[in-house]
Structure 1
Amino acid sequence: MKKLLWLALLVAVLLAGWALLKVRRARPEVPFARVERSDLVSVIVTNGRIEPLEWAAVAAEQAGLVRRVHAERGQRVKAGEVLVELDAATAEAELAAARARLAQVQAEIARLEQGGRAAELAALDAEIEALRPELAAAEQEKSALERLAARQAATRTEADAAGRRAEKLAAQLDGLRKRRLALVDSPERQAARARLDEAEAALESARLRLEKTLLRSPLAGTVYEADLRPGAFVAAGQTVAKVGRLDRVLARVFVDEPELGRLARGQAVLLGWDALPGRRWEGSVERLPSEITVLGSRQVGEVVCRIENPGGELLPGTNVNVEIRTEAARSALSMPREALRRRNGQTGVFTLNGDRLAWQPVELGISTVTRVQILKGLNEGDAVALPTDVGLAEGLEVRPVFRP
């Protein structure tokens, strides 16, 4: 009888242990992470597009065919360097004709200033020089006789005769001077001068037309747009190339509307480009959005950032990945961002209390892509539940699995 009692007791203990083991094995496995201290840098992750900081378009001032392309996309050029050369046959012919016309007019003027006219001018000058002392002597004699006649030392007839002689010489000298002036400024010479001015203007115009066949860079920089080939037709006003300074560029960054309140001028910016993995470019926020625009399904503000690009790898139009560092906290109490949950209008986490879950509201600080700062509600070393397929609830008994 006693043996039967002990046997029944043993069976009961085994059944209880088996039931307890079954219950323990039925507890759901839930991943957990520890609250710990770490340095956090809060960033806004988005995308953007590169634009030149300083640039200029090179346009054709006259239509023509491309004779030669001197600069390709990505090539560095100096200010004034020729980028594209248009066909100049017509302009060169016009320049040659203008030079010939100028030479012809200059020859006409030379003929007017030489030969008989030059000799005639010399003769007139000689006559004028001869009359000047003769007129001076006649005027002196007239003055002397006038004084003597006043003292009755000479007759009035003598004084009047001297006056008439002086007047005659003065009239002759005036006539010679008028003849000389008419000879120098003749209508024929004036017409020749007009033709000379016209020929010089035509030559300068031809030179300008020839110069316009050479399309030059207005500034030193890098050619970032140029697609012409020899033989292509270029219309007047057509842009043939764009040149910009690319040692510093602008990034037009698209930030979602809810994130705009975190932005400030001067915040650090880090850029990446899928074409050059591992390469990074640094800069800062220069201008904040002035309006909200639609970008696909997003409501965004356009933030302008100035980026250092010493190697010139980032070309205008490049699509880039952007991180804007809005805040930083050293040795901050933090946890994985994925542990956050919303419950009854509160933000919080499920913590581990023994083997059971406990709901704990939290107050948050800055956040990164993977972690979030805890200002209130948790302590260092606390365990917080991570996302799982298991439906979590207050008081649920779980089997915790800790992740590093």
Structure 2
Amino acid sequence: MQTRVEKKPSTTKRMIIMVLLVLLLIGVIVGVKATMIMQMMAGMKPPPPSVVSTAKVAYQDWQPSLGAVGTLRAVRGADLAFDIAGLVTKVNLKSGDEVKEGQVLVQMRDSEDVAQLHQLEAAAALAEVTFGRAKQQLAVQAISKADYDTAAADLKAKQAAVQQQQVNVAKKQLRAPFAGRAGIITVNPGAYINAGTAIVTVQQLDPVFVDLHLPQRNLNALRAGQNVSLSLDSYPGKHFEGKVSAISPKVDNDTRNVQIEASVPNPDRLLTPGMFANISIDVGDKQRQLTLPQTAVVYNPYGDTVYVVKHRSEMKDPPADAKGADPKPAKPAAKDAGKDKGASGSDLVVQQTFVTTGGTRGDQVAIVKGLDEGVEVVTSGQIKLKNGAPITIDNKVQPSDNPNPTPQEN
């Protein structure tokens, strides 16, 4: 009697079947998920148009200028001191006084020097009388020529002694070398002053000089007599006008900068030596430039771009974002949105355009190439945009477009 042996599937076949079943299950799950995602995407509405502000490119007159930071300096200024030591007897000014040229500011004790001066003046007067008599006697041959020469020499010696003593007396007086404003003085009568000790400063404040430095590449644009405008943090919103008075004939070997000196009228004495000032020098004639706010330009390593506002019908290729978009125009972001710029809504899209920028002036930038006058571009909200994106215009708040901005403090 033969025994029947049942054949069992091999281990390899079982593994293959198991793998196929797992793959089939994964395929079913992926298919279900893909179907759900496609249904969700089909049911999603396109994103609403981005709200942006816009401005039109327009020509403006630009005055080419060079900017720098300079230091104010008095036309005349000196720290006054005695060149001899002595005791102060009188102070003839107060701190901050306006002084005149030659005015005695501080007096030292000079009674001994004045007494000696009077003695020498008396001796000189006697020598002058003696010389006059000798001159008359020589005319009638009453004295010899040697006696006459002796009298003349004695007179000159006495007069020189008087002049020397007058200098000694003058050293005891501190005089203003020029008209100007005195600084803070702390010396009082009775104080002993050493030689060379600064007593008071005197500064001539009208006009004042401004010292600044510019790179040597700007030398060809600089001329004496060019207009200069100063602005200082101490006087926000106020500008002081002057002119270039001198240009140094030498370029600094270390910095390769050239020193410029400008003269600025200061009748109100508002400008003080030592202050820092922002300086703008007008160079060349005025130029007409296409101008935009600097916020309108998107600066990239591959080139500078702006977003130009267009209607969908003006686009060469339908934007990708337009597929499946709601044909109804979107409502403006605000009641007055786009009132100054024409229609607004989803009918408006943006086109990214490369531009070539020129110089800057405050919050503005010059457009050299890439745009025409009157073209409307986005000035804020570009971070949300891409080529062909729909937009809504709201110009209630505009970025700064000031050619001469000033710092604002809250």
TM-score past 0.5 threshold = yes
* Alignment of 1:213 onto 2:206: no
Stretches of structure 1 that go unaligned for 5 or more consecutive residues are 1-14, 114-120, 126-176
Q: Distance in 2 between matches of 1:258 and 1:99?
A: 61
Matches within 5 A, 1:366-381: 366-381=359-374
Q: Distance in 2 between matches of 1:263 and 1:209?
A: 53
**Conserved? CA contact 2:187–2:199, under 8 Å:** no
Q: Secondary structure of the equivalent of 1:281?
A: strand
* Alignment of 1:39 onto 2:61: yes
Q: Distance in 1 between matches of 2:65 and 2:209?
A: 19
Q: CA RMSD in A?
A: 4.6
Q: Distance in 2 between matches of 1:397 and 1:342?
A: 22
Aligned length: 314
Give the structure 2 partner of residue 359 of structure 1: 352
Change (3 A) 1:235 1:313: same
**Conserved? CA contact 1:269–1:325, under 8 Å:** yes
Q: Encode CA deviations 1:286-319: one digit per residue, 9 max, x unaligned.
A: 3457546999xxx976432221223333232233
| One-letter identity of the residue aligned with 2:303 | Q
**Conserved? CA contact 1:40–1:367, under 8 Å:** no
* Alignment of 1:249 onto 2:208: yes
Change (3 A) 1:32 1:249: same
Q: Encode CA deviations 1:196-222: one digit per residue, 9 max, x unaligned.
A: 776655444333211221222333x31
Change (3 A) 1:197 1:325: closer
Q: Distance in 1 between matches of 2:123 and 2:180?
A: 42
Change (3 A) 1:276 1:353: closer
Matches within 5 A, 1:225-374: 225=183, 227-231=185-189, 232-253=191-212, 260=218, 263-265=221-223, 266-288=225-247, 290-291=250-251, 302-326=259-283, 329=286, 332-354=289-311, 355-374=348-367
- CA-CA distance at 1:349 after TM superposition: 2.0
- CA-CA distance at 1:78 after TM superposition: 3.3
Q: Distance in 1 between matches of 2:151 and 2:212?
A: 67
Matches within 5 A, 1:111-126: none
- CA-CA distance at 1:366 after TM superposition: 4.4
**Conserved? CA contact 1:28–1:390, under 8 Å:** no
Q: Secondary structure of the equivalent of 1:342?
A: coil
Structure with more of its chain in helix, by fraction? 1
Q: Secondary structure of the equivalent of 2:295?
A: helix
Q: Distance in 2 between matches of 1:321 and 1:347?
A: 29
Change (3 A) 1:245 1:205: same
Matches within 5 A, 1:375-394: 375-388=368-381, 390=383, 392-394=385-387
Q: Secondary structure of the equivalent of 2:47?
A: helix
Change (3 A) 1:325 1:401: farther
Normalising by structure 1, report the TM-score. Answer: 0.60
* Alignment of 1:70 onto 2:92: yes
Normalising by structure 2, report the TM-score. Answer: 0.59
Change (3 A) 1:204 1:254: closer
Q: Distance in 1 between matches of 2:99 and 2:358?
A: 50
Identity across matched positions, percent? 23
